[in-house]
């Protein structure tokens, strides 16, 4: 396992030996592993429902049996401790099985969302050096397995592709067959070795941030479980009889933590929704008696609107956490009118730190409805820094910094970008403009980062601009967000073109589709301009473009 440290720092290098001891002493890092938590629940509640998705239903004993069976097959294929296994699956029960299989092998899970295509995945596969992929074939009219077979020619370390719910393998491995072949053969489990080391890399989550290529946020079990445990205990107050409703992709930090890890910690159930549709979401919550959920603010708006005229019993829902965009002041009241026992709670975090602050049940209603809360766990330090480099006073805007037990080790195989993001004193520079009031409640007021948050997903403006500049008729491009009631923000591209017929949005989108990037990054508005507003130093004034896009 020591070989992994050539890719990311050790915990001592990241946090310092004194802090490592301190985090353990205050109970921020409890050690263990997800496999031990899984076995704990199986021991005392084997028939408790672990995961449902509208098609499959697994009790905890079945989840363990299938996960360990898949682990045996992956082990027979050569997957070893510390190896990376990439998972691109919809929100299906197979995602939970895959997560626990990889965890039992003490390998590193690399979850990616279903929207990623060739361009992004080629970079992620080569950066992570994943040895195996678990995916499916057709999902929403796209053949993911065929994509990975093509990518394998450009990713020499990738050896195996496992397909779930597929009817056309073309030489790949069938997920169900892989499970059935090893089911009920516990004699091979000694080959797994001891449970995973909680201080070694556990999960590798790619995020675009503000740059053109994705960065792999590397968490240990301790750094990842720290935030998950705080959410489970303090925010969701989740017990074994609870059920998490998870429409956010399990291929990203929010969906994986909320939909798989938190239920594992609580010994609770989870219900996964693979295709977002607000009416269907409400129906699932009512049918499966879901008690908690998390998602982007626009999806809450959609559910509220979709509830009109429906006679559904939504009384089971207790806490729904929103992140990714501020909550309009009127939304909590509207939420309670649809979910009579529910509370809408805000959270502030990102893939690098998972959770920094959150609102909890006991917060004053005004603070709960208007802020992203305060730290709910011991060990978290925060600081707001003004543009002049001074520490901001109460209520004063500046960039918020984080330091604490939930910080990632670093970006996988990227020490330069890690050093730019985490300074020598261990402060993570978030790139978000916030203020913290006298009571410690945090409010997000803007972004330094050049990103667009569309439906809770971060889109790098620079990445889309780079693709646009490859178009033969586009001389200069600038991508900004414009507000949208449904998605929060959408993508608007401003371009300067060569002389000729006016360039259309349809032409640009067709060109970008040819680059095989994820559909969410495609511009939804195109503005052809003669010149850009510029600073005296020659930088595009994007704040002016954002204002133009809003108008």
pLDDT exceeds cutoff 70 at 29:
yes
User: What is the C-alpha to C-alpha distance for residues 363 and 482, in angstroms, rounded to an integer?
Assistant: 32
What percentage of the chain carries pLDDT values higher than 90?
81
Q: Which position has the token pair 């929060």?
A: 488
pLDDT at residue 448, rounded to an integer? 80
Q: Model confidence at 324, in pLDDT bands (50, 70, 90)?
A: low
Q: Are 245 and 271 in contact (CB under 8 A)?
A: yes
pLDDT at residue 1, rounded to an integer? 44
pLDDT exceeds cutoff 60 at 361:
yes
Per residue in 13-25, pLDDT tens? Answer: 999 999 999 999 9
pLDDT exceeds cutoff 80 at 320:
yes
Which has the minimum average pLDDT: 114-128, 180-194, 231-245?
180-194
pLDDT exceeds cutoff 50 at 79:
yes
Q: Model confidence at 387, in pLDDT bands (50, 70, 90)?
A: confident
pLDDT at residue 381, rounded to an integer? 97
Mapped onto helix, strand or coil, the DSSP state of residue 391 is strand
pLDDT exceeds cutoff 60 at 32:
yes
Q: Are 197 and 449 in contact (CB under 8 A)?
A: no
pLDDT at residue 89, rounded to an integer? 98
Mapped onto helix, strand or coil, the DSSP state of residue 421 is helix
Mean pLDDT of 339-346: 96
User: What is the C-alpha to C-alpha distance for residues 393 and 271, in angstroms, rounded to an integer?
Assistant: 43
What six digits make up the tokens of 508?
């640009």
Buried b or exposed e, range 380-415, using 16+ CB within 10 angstroms: bebebeeeeeeebeeeeebbbbbbbbbbbbbbbbbe
Mean pLDDT of 204-214: 78
Q: Model confidence at 209, in pLDDT bands (50, 70, 90)?
A: low
pLDDT at residue 270, rounded to an integer? 98
> In the sheet where 474-484 sits, what is the strand order?
474-484, 488-497, 525-528
pLDDT at residue 543, rounded to an integer? 83
pLDDT exceeds cutoff 60 at 168:
yes
Choose among 150, 428, 488: nearest CA to 296: 488
pLDDT exceeds cutoff 50 at 241:
yes
pLDDT at residue 347, rounded to an integer? 94
User: What is the C-alpha to C-alpha distance for residues 535 and 403, in angstroms, rounded to an integer?
Assistant: 34
Per residue in 479-533, pLDDT tens? Answer: 999 999 888 899 999 999 989 999 999 999 999 999 999 999 999 999 999 998 9
pLDDT at residue 6, rounded to an integer? 76
User: What is the C-alpha to C-alpha distance for residues 124 and 217, in angstroms, rounded to an integer?
Assistant: 12
pLDDT exceeds cutoff 70 at 537:
no
Q: Are 359 and 6 in contact (CB under 8 A)?
A: no
Mapped onto helix, strand or coil, the DSSP state of residue 162 is strand
Mean pLDDT of 85-100: 98
pLDDT at residue 416, rounded to an integer? 95
Q: Are 345 and 322 in contact (CB under 8 A)?
A: yes
Q: Share the mean pLDDT of the chain.
A: 93
pLDDT at residue 461, rounded to an integer? 86
User: What is the C-alpha to C-alpha distance for residues 230 and 257, in angstroms, rounded to an integer?
Assistant: 11
pLDDT exceeds cutoff 80 at 190:
no
Mean pLDDT of 363-389: 93
pLDDT at residue 456, rounded to an integer? 82
Per residue in 398-446, pLDDT tens? Answer: 999 999 999 999 999 999 999 999 999 999 999 988 999 999 999 988 7
Q: Are 165 and 274 in contact (CB under 8 A)?
A: no
pLDDT at residue 34, rounded to an integer? 98
Mean pLDDT of 350-379: 94
pLDDT at residue 298, rounded to an integer? 79
Q: Model confidence at 538, in pLDDT bands (50, 70, 90)?
A: low
Choice between 294 and 6, residue whose per-residue pLDDT is larger: 294
| Residue-range domains of the chain with CATH | 18-229+250-265 (3.40.50.980), 451-550 (3.30.300.30)
């Amino acid at each position: 396992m020591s070989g992994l440290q050539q890719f990311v720092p050790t915990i001592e290098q990241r946090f310092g030996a004194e802090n490592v001891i301190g985090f353990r002493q205050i109970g921020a890092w409890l050690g263990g592993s997800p496999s031990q938590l899984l076995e704990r629940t199986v021991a005392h509640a084997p028939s408790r429902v672990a995961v449902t998705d509208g098609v499959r239903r697994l009790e905890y004993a079945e989840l363990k049996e299938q996960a360990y069976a898949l682990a045996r097959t992956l082990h027979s294929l050569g997957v070893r401790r510390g190896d990376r296994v990439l998972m691109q699956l919809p929100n299906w029960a197979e995602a939970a099985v895959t997560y626990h299989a990889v965890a039992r092998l003490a390998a590193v899970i690399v979850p990616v969302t279903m929207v990623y295509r060739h361009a992004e995945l080629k970079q992620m596969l080569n950066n992570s050096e994943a040895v195996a992929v678990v995916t499916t074939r057709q999902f929403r009219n796209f053949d993911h397995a065929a994509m990975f077979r093509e990518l394998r020619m450009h990713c020499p370390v990738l050896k195996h592709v496992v397909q779930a719910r597929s009817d056309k393998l073309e030489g790949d491995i069938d997920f169900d067959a892989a499970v059935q072949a090893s089911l009920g053969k516990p004699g091979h489990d000694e080959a797994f070795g001891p449970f995973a080391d909680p201080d070694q890399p556990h999960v590798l989550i790619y995020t675009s941030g503000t740059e053109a290529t994705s960065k792999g946020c590397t968490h240990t079990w301790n750094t990842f479980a720290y935030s998950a445990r705080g959410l489970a205990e303090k925010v969701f107050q989740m017990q074994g009889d609870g059920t998490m409703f998870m429409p956010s992709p399990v291929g990203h930090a929010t969906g994986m933590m909320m939909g798989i890890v938190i239920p594992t910690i609580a010994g609770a159930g989870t219900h996964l929704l693979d295709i977002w549709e607000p009416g269907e979401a409400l129906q699932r919550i009512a049918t499966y008696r879901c008690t908690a959920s998390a998602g982007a603010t626009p999806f809450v708006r959609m559910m509220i609107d979709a509830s009109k005229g429906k006679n559904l019993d939504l009384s089971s829902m207790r806490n729904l956490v929103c992140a990714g965009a501020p909550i309009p002041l009127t939304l909590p009241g509207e939420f309670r009118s649809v979910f009579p026992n529910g509370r809408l709670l805000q959270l502030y975090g990102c893939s690098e730190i998972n959770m920094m602050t959150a609102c909890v049940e006991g917060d004053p209603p005004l603070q709960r409805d208007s802020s992203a809360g305060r730290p709910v766990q011991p060990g978290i330090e925060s600081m707001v820094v003004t543009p002049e480099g001074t520490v901001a006073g109460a209520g004063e805007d500046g960039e918020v910094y984080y330091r604490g037990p939930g910080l990632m080790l670093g970006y996988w195989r990227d020490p330069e970008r890690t050093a730019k993001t985490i300074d020598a004193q261990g402060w993570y520079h978030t790139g978000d403009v916030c203020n913290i009031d006298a009571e410690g409640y945090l409010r997000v007021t803007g972004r330094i980062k050049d990103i667009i948050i569309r439906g809770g997903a971060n889109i790098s403006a620079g990445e889309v601009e780079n693709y646009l500049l490859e178009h033969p008729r586009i001389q200069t491009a600038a991508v900004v967000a414009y507000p949208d009631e449904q998605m929060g923000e959408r993508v608007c591209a401003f371009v300067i073109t060569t002389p000729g017929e006016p360039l259309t949005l349809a032409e640009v989108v067709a060109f970008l589709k040819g680059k095989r990037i994820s559909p969410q990054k495609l511009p939804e508005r195109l503005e052809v301009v003669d010149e850009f507003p510029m600073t005296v130093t020659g930088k595009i004034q994007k704040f002016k473009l954002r204002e133009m896009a809003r108008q």
